[in-house]
Amino acid sequence: MASSVGIADYMIERLIASGVRHVFGVPGDYVLGLYKKLSDSPLEVINTCDEQGAGFAADAYARLNGLGVVCVTYGVGGLKVANTTAEAFAERVPVLVISGAPGIAERTRNPMLHHKVKQFDTQRKVFEQLTVASADMCDPATALGGFDRVLDAVLRYKRPGYVELPRDMVAAKAPLALGMPAGAGDREPGDPAALAEALHESAERIRAAHRPVILVGGEVQRFGLEQQVLQLARKINVPIAVSLLAKSTIPETDPLYMGVYAGALGDEAVRSYVEESDCLLLLGVLLTDVNLGIYTAHLDPGRSIHVTSERTAIAHHYYEGVTATDFLQGLIDREMGQCRLAWTKPEHLLTNAPAAPEAAPITVQRLFERINAFLECDIAVVADVGDALFGSLDLVTCRAGNYLSPAYYTSLGFAVPAAIAVQLSHPELRPLVLVGDGAFQMTGMELSTAARYGLNPIVVVLNNGGYATERPMIDGPFNDLLPWHYSRLPELLGHGAGFVVETEEQLLAALSEARANTASYSILDVRLAPDDVSPPLRRLTDALGKRT
């Protein structure tokens, strides 16, 4: 057995073993050697136009695939993915950032090499703020251990990590450790006594409750707990709502599925049922402002059992060392009997059969109704930030995992690059991108990347001429955008199909043509009135208006 291994070879092997098949990035001279290695490996390198696109794509890939990798050059590459790495941190996404760097042999007497900022470790210091673990692989003796430590932390904590590989270390040989690396993503051991007590107390509360509800948060998908949650819900007959960040974690057609709970943003029936529950089982829920409908939510901690990857709270006291997996399994294994289900699904707004086509101008509400009717099991919705996100809340996807959005960190420009990753990781899915014109002007050109790799997302641009969600807060010319002719993007890229949509009839025709166009991406320029908003955003605005 080999006692040493090339550093890059080792990294590639571990990435493949962790289920990675695609790496996103833009090459640069400090990372070219690694690109060559990647390119010659079973991994596929996906070149985006800008590093930002690669960062968003790697994030989306990680959400769907369990690990995503973005590979960039030093400084001018690495620092361009600071924001997307922050997104992965905030939303608990296992992304590994690999950055090239000047060779160790080049660093004698601290020369001013291009792409250098202050010191050679400046970029790593930046990423220490944005990741759960980081390592510079400057010394073959410790390089593999550093890489293992970062990769394992990424997989365990579902947060981004950072490794920096000097270009003269790519082919350097490093000693293999005696044993195999620690199992990727192994859980930390729990505290059995604390678990037993927490389970006992929780079971009592659930048994005593008249109207228990499960609220599922973003961590459930990240930590792969979906099946346990469903098993528990079915066993005790308790309905399930989800936070916006967890939309589509639970199949939205499941009889126990209620809808998205997001304070006033969400459906009123879901909201009142959740808020009036006498036993609220919050599973992996991040109590973010957006998830809570900008604080229009009213969740009583005194009636809650709140399990996250970091701790478990029952009412106002906390348990350490109680992992979500153990806790869920403990509840499933216990005999608690079935609850009487007090929830009846209301007639959902968007599931109403849509009226006949109209020549009238398209509205945001009708756009989402039509899109809802358009969804099939092979369509994955990717929502960007703004009313594209709010409006998508009411959509009903037919399969778990068919929805993606950065609903907490809410960085504009996520959706187009994310759609690329959705289709690469799940070629059987057709991404449907909902994106505002502001977000599209940031990263929409990554449709070039879609075209390059033969992908065919359907992109719906909600074109209302500006940052429409900001207008009701404070308006001014700074909320305006230059009106691009989005449907003419194919002329610039030499690929794709474009549509102008001003009426409902045109929308139906364009969606149908886009569906049939499997050869390339399709882009729909949906022209909306500047002051028109989606029903969820209207609900929220009304509630906020009442509050002041």
What residues between 211 and 230 interact with a copy of itself by CB under 8 A? none
Window of 333-341, 353-361, 396-404, 410-418 that interacts with a copy of itself by CB under 8 A = 410-418
Is the CB of 26 or the CB of 336 nearer to a copy of itself? 26
Q: Are 401 and 250 in contact (CB under 8 A)?
A: no
Amino acid at 543: A
Residue 202 or 456 having the CB closest to a copy of itself? 456
Nearer to a copy of itself, 402 or 449 (CB): 449
Which residues, 6 or more positions from 449, have their beta carbon under 8 angstroms from its beta carbon? 46, 47, 48, 49, 53, 57, 417, 420
- Burial 24-36, CB ≥16 within 10 A → b, else e: bbbbbebbebbbe
Residue range at the interface with a copy of itself (CB under 8 A); choices 41-49, 312-320, 322-330, 510-518: 41-49
Binding to a copy of itself (CB under 8 A): which residues in 376-405?
none
**What is the smallest separation between the CB atom of 90 and a copy of itself, expressed in angstroms?**
6
Radius of gyration of the chain (CA): 24
- Is residue 427 a contact point for a copy of itself (CB under 8 A)? no
Q: Which helix (H) or strand (E) holds 420?
A: helix 415-425
20 neighbors 45 (Cβ within 8 angstroms): no
Q: Is 36 in the site for a copy of itself (CB under 8 A)?
A: yes
Nearest one of 20, 83, 21 to 51, comparing CA atoms: 83
Regarding 371 and contact with a copy of itself (CB under 8 A), the answer is: no
Give the footprint of a copy of itself on residues 263-302 (CB under 8 A). 286-290
Rounded CA separation 444/439 (Å): 7
Among 183, 255, 483, 530, binds a copy of itself (CB under 8 A): 483
Classify the phi-psi angles of 163: left when phi > 0, otherwise alpha if psi is within -120 to 50, otherwise beta.
beta
Alpha helices (H) along 313-409: 324-333, 364-374, 387-392
Residue 412 is a binding residue for a copy of itself (CB under 8 A):
yes
Q: How far is the CB of 407 from a copy of itself (least distance, A)?
A: 9
Pick the stretch among 108-116, 267-275, 305-313, 395-403 that binds a copy of itself (CB under 8 A).
Answer: 108-116
Nearer to a copy of itself, 35 or 223 (CB): 35
Residue 403 contacts residue 392 (beta carbons within 8 Å): yes
426 touches a copy of itself (CB under 8 A): no
Contact with a copy of itself (CB under 8 A) among 13, 276, 470, 505? 470
68 to 107, contacts with a copy of itself by CB under 8 A? 75-76, 79-80, 82-83, 86-87, 89-90
Q: ∠ at Cα 270 (302, 304), nearest 5°?
A: 15
Give the count of residues interacting with a copy of itself (CB under 8 A). Answer: 77
Comparison of 368 and 408: residue with beta carbon closer to a copy of itself:
408
- Give whichever of 5 and 113 is closer to a copy of itself, judged by the CB atom: 113
- Return the amino acid letter for 244: L
Residue selected from 202, 449, 463, 464 as contacting a copy of itself according to rule CB under 8 A: 449
Applying the rule CB under 8 A, the residues between 47 and 66 that interact with a copy of itself are 47, 49-50, 52
Q: Which token pair is 164? A: 């920096």
**From the list 448, 463, 464, 522, which residue makes contact with a copy of itself (rule: CB under 8 A)?**
448
CB 520 within 8 A of CB 545: no
* 124 within 8 A of 161, measured Cβ to Cβ: no
Q: Which is nearer to a copy of itself, 33 or 239 (CB)?
A: 33
CA distance 27 to 450: 18
- Given 194, 269, 349, 493, the residue binding a copy of itself (CB under 8 A): 493
